[in-house]
Structure 1
Amino acid sequence: MKPNVKQPARPSAQSPSNRLWGQPLLWGLLLAICVLGIPYAEGLFRWFEPDARQVIYQRAHFYDLLGRHLLVVGVAAIVTISLGVGAGIAVTRKKGQDFLPLVSQLASLGQTFPPVAVLALAVPVLGFGTLPIIMALMLYGLLPIVRNTLTGLQDVDADMKTAAHAMGMTPLQTLYQVELPLAAPVILAGIRTSVTINIATAALGATVGASNLGDPIIAGIINGNMAYVIQGALLIALLALTIDSLFDALQSKIRLHLSSSPGDLARHSTR
């Protein structure tokens, strides 16, 4: 009679992928706890401002400020991603290569102006509110996306594109089925940098009437209330860490997919 020997449990094929989302969930949970819990933490923030009449920012609910912050950053990100990736694709095609230096210079120009200067120039034209800060975020966040899109597409192995052409694929099919999938990790890294930076930069919108998580910071600076500043800064930092770790998980998942099944892309291209 054969002895009953237990076989070691095989690791689940989904476990590496599932572990990728642990960090974003952790930071997101901490953000939710702080958004809902700060109004009840007066004793903690009283330690920073023991003589202040009020230590919890109460002009707006923190979840409202978070939603407005995400809206401004999200709108700017959608426009910037569309323009940046579109421009990067256009100037890496044969008909648009002559405009590559111009696009690179225009994208770099956006980061030569400080966001405060962009706001000062935009307010007389666009008025107070969310439009000036969206404009500033678009200009400030364009360079990483354009730069990484160019790098990602230019680094695609020429042999892969030649093989796709030999299979009878059109230039458009080669772009969508070969070049963009291979360049996706690099492009996503540029989007990650752009969005993460803009989460912090968006706080300046509070200076021009765009209500967001920058409101407690600006109010704290004006009133000399460090507790307000800490509340706004803490929520912005947790939001940035949540979004950054989410992009990190997406990048890791794409790399796992490309490294674990290198032949899938070629087989998919022939369909």
Structure 2
Amino acid sequence: MRRWLPLSFRLLLLGALVVFLFWPYSFEPLLKPLVQQNAPAVYNQGSLLALTVQHLVTVLAATAAATVVAIALAVLVTRPFGAEFLPLSRSLVNIGQTFPPVAVLALAVPVFGFGEKPTLIALFLYGLLPIFENTLTGLTNLPRPVMEAARGMGMTGFQRLLRIELPLALPVILAGIRLSAVISLATATIGSTVAAKTLGEVIIAGLQSNNLAFVVQGGLIVGALAVLIYDMLSALEARISATMQAAHG
């Protein structure tokens, strides 16, 4: 059963998002009923396109950093010399889940100041766990016959890791990255409370001015991005899984 959306729906959602970001005032008639008299229906305190791009850049940077660190830790603890570090690694990657992002922001602002850095730190910590656990699962559940064949061919541990283990575990790793990215995409909105440039600005502006249209705009853009990114990564994960099955089937 397919886990991703039909192509027609994807294109429709992507098209609507692009149109709204480049020509937001074309949606003004739909948003007008959500505002009080004389209140602006379309967010007018900045560029929606610029905020969306910055939001995505922040999420991408945090997810990329979390991916590198989480995979490196998972590889370390699945090697014989690093197995003893598994409890410590689990404790480290659980920090982001133990402390909510708001608490991390509150702790990071006095050290790093207002802006992007506290948000990146919060998203990085929050995104470690799913990637680490999925990578760990992928690397510890590899087909035994394949691993024995690789050893029989005289491959070194590093060669097995790069050529066999990571490629076979890639679909499971991608599932963790997908979850981490979607969580970060939604969580990044709180970065605007510490002056980071994210779509949270639109939502906060709507709450402060009692403008439901602003809140809806910010929420819908984040929601559409989350659906599209989740769908894209799900399709990529399924394609890689099918390729792996065909190669080893």
What is the deviation of 1:51? Answer: 2.3
Give 4+ residue runs of structure 1 displaced > 4 Å after superposition: 19-26
Q: Deviations over 1:95-122 (max 9, x none)?
A: 1000011101211121111111111111
> Are residues 1:38 and 2:24 paired?
yes
Larger Rg: 1
Task: Give the aligned partner of residue 222 of structure 1.
Answer: 208
Give, in whole Å, the separation in 2 of the partners of 1:23 and 1:188.
23
> Are residues 1:172 and 2:158 paired?
yes
Aligned partner (choices 134, 138, 141) of residue 152 of structure 1: 138
Cα contact 1:126–1:132 (8 A) shared by 2: yes
1:47 and 1:245, CA in 2 relative to 1: closer, same or farther beyond 3 A?
same
Cα contact 1:156–1:182 (8 A) shared by 2: yes
What is the deviation of 1:31? Answer: 1.9
Q: Which runs of 5+ in 2 are unaligned?
A: none
Cα contact 2:112–2:118 (8 A) shared by 1: yes
Task: Give the aligned partner of residue 5 of structure 1.
Answer: none
Q: Deviations over 1:50-95 (max 9, x none)?
A: 4252221111111101110011001101111100111111110111
Task: Give the aligned partner of residue 39 of structure 2.
Answer: 53
Q: Deviations over 1:1-34 (max 9, x none)?
A: xxxxxxxxxxxxxxx9xx9876654443232122
Cα contact 1:192–1:247 (8 A) shared by 2: yes
Cα contact 2:70–2:128 (8 A) shared by 1: yes
Aligned partner (choices 110, 113, 120) of residue 127 of structure 1: 113
1:25 and 1:91, CA in 2 relative to 1: closer, same or farther beyond 3 A?
farther
Aligned partner (choices 185, 195, 206) of residue 171 of structure 2: 185
What is the deviation of 1:36? Answer: 2.3
Task: Give the aligned partner of residue 84 of structure 1.
Answer: 70
CA RMSD of aligned residues (A): 1.8
Q: Which runs of 5+ in 1 are unaligned?
A: 1-15, 264-271
Cα contact 2:96–2:125 (8 A) shared by 1: yes
Aligned partner (choices 188, 191, 195) of residue 202 of structure 1: 188
Aligned partner (choices 51, 54, 75) of residue 65 of structure 1: 51
Task: Give the aligned partner of residue 91 of structure 2.
Answer: 105
Give, in whole Å, the separation in 2 of the partners of 1:170 and 1:23.
47
TM-score, structure 1 as length reference: 0.86
Give, in whole Å, the separation in 2 of the partners of 1:148 and 1:83.
13
Give, in whole Å, the separation in 1 of the partners of 2:13 and 2:245.
28
Q: What is the percent sequence identity of the aligned residues? A: 42
Cα contact 2:20–2:26 (8 A) shared by 1: no
What is the deviation of 1:244? Answer: 0.6
1:42 and 1:193, CA in 2 relative to 1: closer, same or farther beyond 3 A?
same
Task: Give the aligned partner of residue 251 of structure 1.
Answer: 237
